[in-house]
Amino acid sequence: MLKNSITFLGTGGGRVVVFRQMRHSGGMWLNIEGINLLIDPGPGSLVRIFERGFDTKDIDLLVVSHRHLDHSSDLNAVVESASESTKKPLDLLVCPQDVVEGEEPILLKYLRKGIKKIAVVKEGTLLSYKDLTVKATVKHIHKGAETYGLEFHGGGKKVVYVPCGRFYEGMLEGYSENADLMIFNTTFPKAIENGENTYHLTVPDVEKMVLRYKPKRAVITHFSVPMLRADPEKISARLSRKTGIPVASAYDGMKITF
């Protein structure tokens, strides 16, 4: 049986942590059913890929959850690298519309021929690639960007990615239950009054979702400064205790097999 794994190239989130590199950024490298996915190639992704012993040439699928730079800034660099300057196009880019269309797309026009197919997702989109099914599930509320929950199903395994967004009741319907791995962009320890974090998940939001969806294992990542101060390790330990489900806090370079 194939061993599936995910490596966190970076675990920083938000303006300060990412753009001052208090933690690395650059997304996640997921290997499922022998298919390599690079998810959210933020700042430094190209560097971290090689640093962790991966190679852009092995990328089958590129996934961008949304257009904010902490998730997408290295998209062009990765496409350039993976496709050998568009000579050997990579198979598939999966992303919401505003990553590739509209007034200010992230993907540069001249690099489009470096990708065979661009699949624009909306709520409910289902697409397959070899033995893998990619699902865009719940629409998230996130300022200035379109984004959806993303799921990757293959070989009887389910990986669920809950990207950035403000919690609302609708997020308690639509994701898969009992995922092998459920990854939460947990940017803040708690809601604060001035509204600065109202477009991101907080720890109590994640607790509700873990209890609702009962994944076999959960991971919190995408940490802001307040989250780092609160200590993600302590938070994940507390979440595990309160939910009865193993919750890990990601660190740069962390690899999980499943």
Contacts to Zn ion by CB under 5 A: 68, 70, 164
Amino acid at 254: M
CB nearer to Zn ion: give 27 or 154.
Answer: 27
Closest separation between CB of residue 222 and Zn ion, Å? 6
Smallest separation, CB 142 to Zn ion (Å):
5
Residues 6 or more apart whose CB falls under 8 angstroms from that of 35 comprise 60, 61, 129, 130, 131, 132, 154
Cβ of residue 163: shortest distance to Zn ion, in angstroms?
A: 7
Which residues have CB under 8 Å from 234's CB, separation 6+?
Answer: none
CB 42 → Zn ion: shortest distance, Å?
8
Residue of 201, 214, 103 lying closest to 147 (CA atoms) = 201
In DSSP terms, 151 is beta-bridged to: 135, 160
Give 177's Cβ-side CA count (13 Å radius): 6
Task: Report, in Å, the least distance between residue 130 CB and Zn ion.
Answer: 29
Separation between Cα atoms, residue 235 and residue 233, nearest integer Å: 5
68 vs 139, which CB is nearer to Zn ion? Answer: 68
Give dist(CA 209, CA 85) in Å, integer.
41
- Minimum CB–partner distance for residue 210 and Zn ion (Å): 20
Residue 90 or 164: the one with the smaller Cβ distance to Zn ion is: 164
Any alpha helices (H) in the chain, and if so which ranges?
14-19, 45-51, 69-72, 75-82, 97-100, 203-213, 225-230, 232-243
Query: CB-wise, 164 or 248, nearer to Zn ion?
Result: 164
Nearer to Zn ion, 64 or 179 (CB): 64
Q: Compare residues 70 and 151 and give the one whose CB is closer to Zn ion.
A: 70
Q: Which residues of 193-207 are buried (b: 16+ CB within 10 A; e: fewer)?
A: eeeebebbbbbebbb
Q: Which residue of the chain is nearest Zn ion when measured via CB?
A: 68
